[in-house]
Chains A and B, each alone.
Chain A
Amino acid sequence: MKVTFEINGTAKSVDVEPRTLVVDLIRTKLGMTGTHIGCDTSNCGACTVLLDGRPVKSCTLLAPMLEGKKVTTVEGLAKGGKLDSIQVGFHEEHGLQCGFCTPGMMLVGKALIEANPHPTEDEIRWGISGNICRCTGYMNIVKAIQHAAAANATENTAGVA
């Protein structure tokens, strides 16, 4: 069947079997391999994408459910060669080690600070609790999201001035 949606700002129309998982559609059909598979049982969040701006697990979505929706993957974070503040935060604060959970963590972090620009540490930990990281112990992921939030706040202030 045909499914039409937007991914990272680009319209796509693809032919898929209804049972195709969105993560597989993105990785195999669209060849964008930044979205990962870590568990199969909706527990790990390595497959996180933004669906109309909200983080969801793309291993637990069927391709036809994308009809008419907007998807953002890690490949859509940097714009025109400029890193998103969340990407800068993860690099500066050593918020990644093996990099496997990182795309999902960054997308969740980005959505989190867009909804709540000044999150507390507890709010960040709660907000990323649908995503597993096996390497970092989350300490520096929390800092990375705080780093991005602070950068956004500075940029917004600068914009106002």
Chain B
Amino acid sequence: MAVETAEATEAARQAMGGIGVSLARKEDARFIHGQGHYVDDVVLPGMLHMVIVRSPHAHARIKGIDSTAAMAIPGVVAVVTGELLAQHKLAWMPTLSGDTQAVLATDKVRFQGQEVACVIAETKYIAEDAAALVSVDYEPLQAITSPQQAIAPGAIVIRDEKEGQTDNKIYHWEAGDKDATDAAFARAAKVVSLETFYPRCHPAPLETCGCVADLDPVTGNATIYMTSQAPHAHRTLFAIVAGLPEEKIRIISPDLGGGFGNKVPIYPGYVVATAASLLIGRPVKWIEDRTDNLISTGFARDYYMDGSVAIDENGKFIGLRVNLLSDNGAFFADAQPSKFKAGLFHIVTGSYDIPAAHIVANGAYTNKAPGGVAYRCSFRVTEASYFIERLVESAAVELGQDPVTIRLNNFIQPEAFPYQSASGFEYDSGDYPRAMQVALDMLGYDELRKEQAEKRAKGELMGIGVASFTEVVGAGKGKDYDIAGLRMFDSAELRVHPTGKAILKLGVKSQGQGHETTFAQIVAEELGIPASDVEVREGDTDNTPFGLGTYASRSTPVGGAATAMVSRKLRDKGKLIAAHLFEADVADIEFARGKYNVKGSPDNVKTIQDIAFAAYTNLPDGLEAGLEGVTYYDPPNMTYPFGTYLVVVDIDKGTGQVKVRRVVAVDDCGVRINPMIVEGQIHGGLTEGFAIAFMELITFDDEGNCIGSNFMDYLIPTAWETPRFELGQTVTPSPHHPIGAKGIGESATVGSPAAFVNAVIDALSHLGITNIDMPLTSDKVWAALRSKGVTE
């Protein structure tokens, strides 16, 4: 091989659009022309429109449903009730956590907004008019609005239809080693505790959920356009739920207007639209309005957490205990691997070398919407990260230590990787002190501490928040992790055509993450076909290999690995063809960046395009034609992205308003494939983390009425409230991932809420304020100040 200079290598990579290049996105063209194709843009001949009639009560018995007036409106085609579905055994469906959920209520409604009936009409306007006329006779029951209330003795049983269910308890789950943890606490010099609540919030992608179901009564083919982050898994579940033959079902998840976990579950609307299309013989469109979305589809968090850290005489953490109580709503519909009832919460030891840990989790039914999806999070990792980072802040305050110092003293050290955590994870790689140092330098930490001291002397409130998170993402290996029994591998199918242009088909599904660019770049890097020549296809179950979809930051860790592996398969086949063309021994063929040559003859090359052409025109005897392959990749381990986030806030004593002055985010997600896209993901995640910390909230009054049921009350920050972000990075590759990447989609949402809250607490801790639960609204901050006699 000719010796390349570093510059030449870099120039070649740039030209190719390989790994590390901030290539402008291939998918942008259609979006900037207004030609994105979302589910609501699908229009089919004869298409009907469906609107859902929802329960105004949180808990009530249904005594009767009268749809006479609705049916009398011209243009109304059908009113579907639970009774009708029950005749087809579709009134209930399984959830992703092995529970059941009502598709349309038959016996009782169990949360406000629950689906009770569906009106199907010629236009959306008519369907809405008619929905208002469906009359439901309810007998209200007492509503249970907290898990504490739910598990109290004598509480009314919400799931009384379940055989053997005599209370509102869902599960009890433990992780770690109780005895070792008890021993650690017994010898602790100091124990610091924290009780906190991570409130219910909602992913609220800008595009709501919906579908167009088109069942052909003649062929039996079912085509369902659907807002789905996991179209293949959904097809299988549809086959199981609706009893449709799987080979006849085609799920098409077109462009998605964001997902953030909201589009992982199957919702009643999808099922009813599909059933209605089957019964009526015409396509049926169902698109949620925003209130439908916020009050009935997958919420996130709603976790009550209390726990303690045991600290020895040297300030080292020696044990961790956490108790969880989760509010799962009326149906246990958490989207998570079936073995893990509290998701991956047991990552709660975080970035710290804590030799003993014990986690106890309990779940309860309440009269609230079901869900428990991971809002931009890998199955409860966000709650875990929040808890440990808040607890470490409390420990710093109690020990009188700087929050940076206490972290540096307790970090898992770089040489300790791979690291076995006390709760059962094997961390792949990390360098936590380095990320911390980069962040401190970017912020100018010491100067800001001086400023804070000066301000405090004048009675002004300023705080610096620190969070050093570690995530566990990727959602594999298949032996341990599944969704509804389906193992969490993922897939890539790559075909290089005779002219050297390629199509890559994936089992994952972008919701805005830029897969059409990022995955083309992996092919470019591995196979030497320019990214501009690689077309990426996703979301159509007829035309992509089976995969588990996109959530839990798993596209790059799993789908990206599959892409690299299938590229390497084709590269190896190319060697056989190159050997044939060169009339050389395969063992003597070399490959670099899309060029094959015989050892010792670096200037005589066959390009991957030459090889592709030969794959269809000039093959050695005995070799299959074509240059095509598929890989199902089952990751050997999860990946463990990490980072340090620093936040500076100023607080207005008169109003309690918190102004975020600076946010420094240093992320280590291993190798960055497209740095521009990675930074975009971090910006988005930080914004959602900021929103959760300060604004976003789904809450309920005592009667179970949902507050936060539209964007007037469910507060999504605009450009005006959103802080500016300063990003930094370190790169610690994952040793087990083919290209060393770890995944970045969720780090910022996982890591940043604690940094924001810690900043506020840092501003207030000298007054004796140690915790305020999110969202840190101005009235709560004001009340905390007032409780300490601080006023303007």
Interface residues of A (CB under 8 A from B): 17, 19-20, 24, 27, 31-41, 43-44, 46, 73-75, 77-78, 83, 87, 90-92, 94, 96-103, 106, 124-126, 128-142
Closest B residue to A37 using CB positions: B40
Which residues of chain A are within 8 angstroms of B28 by Cβ–Cβ distance? 90-91, 96, 99
Q: Are B718 and A130 in contact (CB under 8 A)?
A: yes
Which residues of chain B are within 8 angstroms of A130 by Cβ–Cβ distance? 718
Q: Are B34 and A137 in contact (CB under 8 A)?
A: no
| Shortest beta-carbon distance from A50 to chain B in Å | 13
Q: Are B683 and A99 in contact (CB under 8 A)?
A: no
Q: Are B719 and A129 in contact (CB under 8 A)?
A: yes
**Could you say which of B204, B513, B686 contacts A134, with CB atoms under 8 Å apart?**
B204
Q: Are A140 and B680 in contact (CB under 8 A)?
A: yes
Which bracket fits the contact residues of B?
35 or more
| Shortest beta-carbon distance from B154 to chain A in Å | 40
Q: Which of B717-752 contact A (CB under 8 A)?
A: 718-720, 722, 724-725
| Shortest beta-carbon distance from A17 to chain B in Å | 7
Q: Knowing A38-B290, A91-B32 touch, does A137 contact B206 (C-beta < 8 A)?
A: no
Interface centre among B25, B512, B725 (most CB of A within 10 A): B512
| Shortest beta-carbon distance from A26 to chain B in Å | 11
Which residues of chain B are within 8 angstroms of A87 by Cβ–Cβ distance? 32-33
Residue B152 at the chain A interface, CB threshold 8 Å = no
| Shortest beta-carbon distance from B279 to chain A in Å | 25
Q: Are B255 and A91 in contact (CB under 8 A)?
A: no
Contact with A along B17-45 (1 / 0, CB 8 A): 00000001101111111111110110100
Q: Knowing A39-B711, A98-B206 touch, does A92 contact B716 (C-beta < 8 A)?
A: no
| Shortest beta-carbon distance from A94 to chain B in Å | 5
Q: Are A129 and B718 in contact (CB under 8 A)?
A: yes
Q: Are B206 and A100 in contact (CB under 8 A)?
A: yes
Instruction: Tell me the dominant secondary structure on chain A's binding face.
Output: loop
Contact with A along B382-403 (1 / 0, CB 8 A): 0000000000000000000000
Binds A, one of B90-98, B256-264, B587-595: B256-264
Closest A residue to B29 using CB positions: A91
Which residues of chain B are within 8 angstroms of A139 by Cβ–Cβ distance? 683, 724-725
9 closest pairs, A vs B, by CB? A34-B34, A98-B512, A100-B257, A99-B31, A137-B683, A74-B34, A97-B512, A137-B687, A43-B711
Q: Knowing A17-B125, A129-B718 touch, does A78 contact B206 (C-beta < 8 A)?
A: no
CA distance A10 to B725 in the complex (A): 42
Q: Are A74 and B24 in contact (CB under 8 A)?
A: no
Q: Are A102 and B31 in contact (CB under 8 A)?
A: yes
Q: Which of B256-312 contact A (CB under 8 A)?
A: 256-258, 260, 289-291
Which residues of chain A are within 8 angstroms of B677 by Cβ–Cβ distance? 94
Q: Which of B72-122 contact A (CB under 8 A)?
A: none
Q: Knowing A32-B34, A36-B38 touch, does A131 contact B24 (C-beta < 8 A)?
A: no
| Shortest beta-carbon distance from A100 to chain B in Å | 3
- Cross-chain pairs A/B with CB under 8 angstroms, 15 sampled: A38-B207, A38-B711, A39-B711, A40-B289, A43-B710, A44-B711, A46-B206, A77-B32, A90-B32, A94-B25, A99-B255, A101-B206, A137-B683, A137-B722, A139-B683
Residue B498 at the chain A interface, CB threshold 8 Å = no
Q: Are A138 and B32 in contact (CB under 8 A)?
A: no
Q: Are B205 and A83 in contact (CB under 8 A)?
A: no
Residue B684 at the chain A interface, CB threshold 8 Å = yes
Closest A residue to B720 using CB positions: A129
Q: Are A133 and B206 in contact (CB under 8 A)?
A: yes
Q: Are B684 and A134 in contact (CB under 8 A)?
A: yes
Residue B511 at the chain A interface, CB threshold 8 Å = yes
CA distance A23 to B788 in the complex (A): 51
Which residues of chain A are within 8 angstroms of B207 by Cβ–Cβ distance? 36, 38, 98, 100
Residue B676 at the chain A interface, CB threshold 8 Å = yes
Q: Are A124 and B34 in contact (CB under 8 A)?
A: no
Q: Are A94 and B718 in contact (CB under 8 A)?
A: no
Residue B2 at the chain A interface, CB threshold 8 Å = no
